[in-house]
């Protein structure tokens, strides 16, 4: 399951984000959004973990990480051209449609 989830995360294009639930569903585990977080904890240098965000409403995602990891996530996303609106990312603007 974790390998499938990490494979989905690797396919999220630069400058776009996906929610934990979206990653889980695309990996074939639609109720496994919490497991996505566990899958991302295993270190993989090439894994774009920063492109996975939490769901908050229909059109907005939010960066869930706090502290140093949150700063790194925001910095990586901004480097890819993702603009934050406060602490939120507009999924209707930066959300990945899930196509491979």
35 against 57, higher pLDDT: 35
pTM beyond 0.85: the answer is yes
What's residue 62's pLDDT? Answer: 64
What's residue 58's pLDDT? Answer: 47
> Is residue 67's pLDDT more than 60?
yes
| The CATH classification of domain 2-94, taken from the options 1.10.10.10, 3.40.50.740, 3.40.50.300, 1.20.1560.10 | 1.10.10.10
Q: Are strands 52-56 and 88-90 parallel, antiparallel or unpaired?
A: unpaired
Give, as one character, the DSSP assignment of residue 50: G
Domain boundaries, the chain: 2-94
62-88 burial: b if 16+ Cβ within 10 Å, else e: bbbbeeeeeeebbeebeebebeeeeee
What's residue 100's pLDDT? Answer: 75
């Amino acid at each position: 399951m974790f390998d499938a989830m990490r494979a989905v995360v690797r396919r999220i294009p630069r400058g776009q984000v996906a929610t934990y639930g979206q990653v889980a569903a695309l990996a074939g585990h639609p109720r496994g959004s919490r497991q996505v977080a566990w899958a991302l904890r295993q270190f993989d240098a090439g894994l774009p973990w920063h492109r996975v965000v939490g769901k908050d409403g229909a059109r907005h995602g939010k960066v869930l990480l706090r502290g140093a990891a949150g700063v790194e996530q925001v910095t990586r996303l901004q480097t890819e051209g993702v603009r934050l609106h406060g602490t939120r990312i507009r999924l209707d603007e930066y959300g990945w449609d899930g196509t491979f």
